[in-house]
Amino acid sequence: MKNQSRRDFLKITTISATALVGASATKLFASGNPTSSIDPMGVLVDTTVCIGCRKCEWACKKAHNIDTKPIEDYDNRSAFENYRRPDHTSLTVVNEFRNPTAESKPYDVKVQCMHCNEPACVSACIVGAMTKQENGSVIWDTDKCIGCRFCMVACPFQIPTFEYHKALQPDITKCDFCFERTKEALLPACVEICPVEAVTYGKRSELLKLAKKRINLYPERYKEHILGEHEVGGTSWMYLAGMDFDKLKFPKLSTKAAPGVSEAIQHGIFSYFVPPASLFALLGGIMWLNKNKSKSEPDTE
């Protein structure tokens, strides 16, 4: 691999998660059974370790066949000039934040779907296109999706996006936790490539232990808060940081699972507009017509 020497260099010179806990954390739990609904798999993102190299963005695109530039182009830090959100061009993005009260390095924060334990997007989807898998992944079925966009409204982290350039035939896009890779016992692409082990894949319960261990060992380094431990009923992806999470542009959320809220939205929409069956039939009909039309026409995009 072309960037091997840079990667080795970074591994030696950067404070890594390994140095913090005295063990190779990233792959520590990867061999465990990945299909336990009681203890799903997850990822711990340590924003104090991340160096903002954005290799995870590149690897994610490559794993999902999204057009991508050469990996060397991701060294360009001008990407941090504007705050970015994941979309159909990048299922994960890294943003950089400076801590105005400390001389510490900036915090680089990778953003993607949190794979909630009780996902609002799944609850809001009226056709069952979004599903929570036993290993913790929240994935979707493009063929079932009718483009109603309730999942977008319901998500407390504002993650699902649609390909708006295909307004009548949109595909939902979001991180799928590399479902196709993990079911083959491979690491998520972003975890595999991270040169400093800022992202650790494993059983959620073990990741929580690891996060608490780091906070206890280095209280000056971390806020005593694991984002995702309790928020919206808990999430598979969790974060550590040295700053308050709202300063890193995470929403302040209660511990209450979000599906109740989304169900209320969904039922509210139905009671004020059209009956569910009619709306379902209309959206489903439009999607069916467009999907069949596109199959019979050459792709012009």
**Which 3 state secondary structure label does DSSP give 124?**
helix
| Cα–Cα dist 112/237, whole Å | 9
Q: Rounded to 5 degrees, what angle do the CA atoms 247, 253, 256 make?
A: 160
> Of 20, 26, 108, 147, which lies in the binding site for ligand SF4, with binding defined by CB under 6 A?
108
Under 8 Å between Cβ of 279 and 146: no
Are the C-beta atoms of 124 and 265 separated by less than 8 Å? Answer: yes
Residue 18 has φ and ψ, to the nearest 5°, of -60, -45
Q: How far is the CB of 243 from ligand SF4 (least distance, A)?
A: 16
Q: In angstroms, what is the minimal distance from the CB of 281 to ligand SF4?
A: 26
Binding to ligand SF4 in span 159-198, by CB under 6 A: 159-160, 174-178, 188-190, 193-194, 196, 198
Query: What CA dihedral angle connects 192, 116, 170 and 173, to 10 degrees?
Result: -20
Among 29, 140, 157, 162, binds ligand SF4 (CB under 6 A): 157
Chosen residue from 199, 207, 211, 238 binding ligand SF4 by CB under 6 A: 199
Does residue 204 interact with ligand SF4 by CB under 6 A? Answer: no
Shortest distance, CB of residue 300 to ligand SF4, whole angstroms? 28
The minimum distance between CB 293 and ligand SF4, in angstroms, equals 28
Least distance from ligand SF4 to the Cβ atom of residue 101, Å? 23
- Tokens found for residue 210: 């690891």
Of 54, 203, 204, 214, which lies in the binding site for ligand SF4, with binding defined by CB under 6 A?
54
- Restricting to residues 112-151, which ones interact with ligand SF4 according to CB under 6 A? 112-116, 119-121, 138
Region from 24-32, 49-57, 211-219, 275-283 binding ligand SF4, contact rule CB under 6 A: 49-57
Residues in the chain: 301
> Structure tokens of 219?
């209280």
Q: Which of 168, 133, 131 is nearest to 292 (CA)?
A: 168
- For tokens 């792709």, the residue is 299
Q: Residue 200: enclosing H or E segment and its boundaries?
A: strand 199-203
What single-letter amino acid sits at 7?
Answer: R
Tell me the number of residues near ligand SF4 by CB under 6 A.
Answer: 41
| Interacting residues with ligand SF4 (CB under 6 A) | 50-56, 59-60, 63, 91-92, 94, 108, 110, 112-116, 119-121, 138, 155, 157, 159-160, 174-178, 188-190, 193-194, 196, 198-199
